[in-house]
Amino acid sequence: MPPPAAGSRSRSGAGETECPAARRLRRLSLHLLQPSPAPGDQAGPALALAACAGRARRVEGGADVAAALAAYLRGRHRAAQMRLFDFFRARPDLQTPVELTTAAHRELCFRQLRALVRDAGVRPLTLMANDPAEYFAVMEAAGGADISLGVKLGVQYSLWGGSVINLGTKKHRDKFFDGIDNLDYPGCFAMTELHHGSNVQALQTSATFDPVTDEFIINTPNDGAIKWWIGNAAVHGKFATVFARLILPLQGKGGEPADMGIHAFIVPIRDLETHAVLPGIEINDCGHKIGLNGVDNGALRFRSVRIPRDNLLNRFGDVSRDGKYTSSLPTINKRFAATLGELVGGRVGIAYCSVGVLKVAVTIAVRYALLRHQFGPPKQPEISVLDYQSHQHKLMPMLASSYAFHFATVQLVDKYSEMKKTNDEDLIADVHVLSSGLKAYITSYTAKSISICREACGGHGYAAVNRFGALRNDHDIFQTFEGDNTVLLQQVAGDLLKQYQEKFKGGTLSVTWNYLRDSMGTYLSQPNPVTARWEGEDHLRDPNFQLDAFRYRTSRLLHSVAARLQKHSKTLGGFGAWNRCLNHLLTLAESHIESVILAKFIESVKSCPDEKTREVLKLVCDLYALDRIWKDIGTYRNVDYVAPNKAKAIHKLTDYLSYQVRLVAQELVDAFDLPDLIIRAPIGMQSEAYAQYTQYVGF
């Protein structure tokens, strides 16, 4: 049932003599009975119940609204995505069925990737090198066909190919680029070990230089150093980029071996012709997983495997023929940071593709909620479940978040593309932290949202054919690979604290954090007791109020956690203090990322050239902002940033905006422009959903 309109409404006539309870009951009846509005009743038209799905599902001009929204959302590489969709639609043999064994899924996934490259003519590594934005668009489209395919493509090109072109030099690109691009050289990215994942600097695999033979000897010193969860390793990979400690004999103190830190090496693991595993290498299968079973994850052990010295990816550090080490970077830590910084594209791709998964889940849930009718007023037709306030509360903020994340990740991709062109140091630092925060925040939100969408679709959401199980299981690992989300959020918090210190030293702030320049003054002053009580709808929907609220919260969190860290460091040391404040730091990072997302959403609304489209986006943006404020209203109340009456007004307005977004929910999901090939769930089809569902089960 939709809530009453937010804000005060003037009344005339009989309404003036009604007590509040009677007025409330009369308005509630309006929602169900849909009478003509009383003379002078300004709320009447807005409060009338929306026509139920299946009879009049679109608002007036809804198709035009959806088309205009789709045009604004559509990226410049949409044509490339559509070509892939058409390609897979014309190839039923490449479409992933609902039920598939692990072995069959792996074989199908490799055939899909091979067909994409060799039949559809896509050259992903070339795209990644020349136009990262188009590469990410292709990855999203491939993931739409099958998330396993998107991940396998990412392993081959973002990780294996990306390590060669970003960590290597011209000799490596000349030798390997074409073979990686055309899939003659399927490869792996062997970083994670059984005992170490996030803590890359603690990896134990070694690469010891032998000056006699001019080779590196790759060795797994113990079981904890076995490379684990390595995509493409179990079945298809022929090469691996192996991350190992570079050891130089006799060059340490007292003639001891010198450990030069983590470096990357190209190691052949299977014969190019026979595909037999090469001597000294042991490969085992990590087995069936919760999801992504089209990707063949394996474990690798190296027993004194010799590779040429030239197989060291030597962009940031090199070893000469006589065993001398050289680097343009003076310390192990700086070399390590530069190495990992070049691999940030993986995080960018995961954040971008996670939004695509969220769009699919939300589209299925919203379309089904419009289709499904349950209960209704006495002797009246049943109503759409999306007309229930509880259902709007589940799905409409999620739909708004999908739009917010869309604009944020498009901006991230653009920044990454610019970074690759310019190699600007400030932009590199900005993209590193922004990609960490967005990847962590968006993938966590998407994982939770898929389960909510499943629940919102009731029993039919539990059918495998309706996708939620596969979406949830395949996407779940997005929270872990390319950086555990908790670890990535700590990187964001650490950078914020660094910027906080720079502020007091008179330094400059990187682009994404520049609002902190004023935060310690404006945002940390005592809240204005007058504005803290303002509750008018115009004020609450003012983007300046919304953004100020988000940034005020971030600045308070930053200031308070800095003080706590300073206090606890005196007794616990730096590591102990960080751990004592860890939850506070994670909240700070999430708050900052929410501020960045909202700022980009507001900017995207203002930039929209079409007035009607801009109005719809403004509505969605307001819901995104106020829903976030309401969910953390305790923080604002604790510091008197929001008075009790204002908190109540925010709650009411959030419910009302959910109802308003519900009225254009179909147009909003249609604007994602996802073809049936990508949606696939019968209950999420644009038309004849029940008919397709019954046909699937055999009627």
250 and 365 inside one domain: no
356 and 315 inside one domain: no
231 is in an annotated binding site: yes
List of residues 6+ apart from 193 with CB closer than 8 A: 203, 204, 205, 224, 225, 226, 227, 228
Task: For residue 240, give the CATH number of its domain.
Answer: 2.40.110.10
List of residues 6+ apart from 254 with CB closer than 8 A: none
Catalytic member of 134, 193, 215, 482 = 482
325 and 429 inside one domain: no
pLDDT given at position 174: 97
Residue 469 lies in a domain: yes
Token readout for 603 is 């900017």
363 and 392 inside one domain: yes
Residue 243 lies in a domain: yes
Contact 454, 472 (CB under 8 A): yes
Give the position of tokens 């030069």.
260
Long-range contacts made by residues 621-624, C-beta under 8 angstroms, separation at least 24?
621/400, 621/403, 621/404, 621/543, 622/541, 622/546, 622/657, 623/396, 623/397, 623/400, 623/654, 623/657, 623/658, 623/660, 623/661, 624/397, 624/400, 624/401, 624/403, 624/404, 624/598
pLDDT given at position 49: 36
Task: Tell me, yes or no, if 502 is annotated catalytic.
Answer: no
Residue 475 lies in a domain: yes
Residue 6 lies in a domain: no
Radius of gyration from C-alpha coordinates of the chain: 28
425 and 281 inside one domain: no
Question: What's the residue count for the chain?
Answer: 699
Task: For residue 422, give the CATH number of its domain.
Answer: 1.20.140.10
Residue 522 lies in a domain: no
257 and 133 inside one domain: yes
Residue 596 lies in a domain: yes
How many CA atoms are closer than 13 Å to the CA of 451, on its beta-carbon side? 7
The 3-state DSSP class for residue 192 equals: coil
Report how far residue 662's alpha carbon sits from residue 31's, in angstroms, rounded to the nearest whole number: 14
Residue 65 lies in a domain: yes
If one counts the domains in the chain, the total is 2
Q: What is the mean pLDDT of each run of 10 residues along the chain (699 residues)?
A: 40 40 42 37 38 44 88 92 96 96 98 98 96 96 97 97 96 98 98 93 96 97 97 98 95 88 97 97 97 98 98 96 93 87 90 97 97 93 95 98 98 94 88 96 98 97 96 97 94 91 57 54 58 86 94 91 93 94 96 97 96 96 97 91 93 97 96 95 88 86
Q: Which of these three, 281, 316, 342, is where a domain ends? A: 342
472 and 351 inside one domain: yes
569 and 583 inside one domain: yes
284 and 366 inside one domain: no
17 is in an annotated binding site: no
65 and 211 inside one domain: yes
Token readout for 600 is 């980009």
Residue 129 lies in a domain: yes
Helix, strand, coil shares, percent, the chain, to 5: 60, 10, 30
221 and 279 inside one domain: yes
Q: Which domain holds residue 295?
A: 61-342
Report how far residue 179's alpha carbon sits from residue 682's, in angstroms, rounded to the nearest whole number: 40
156 and 296 inside one domain: yes
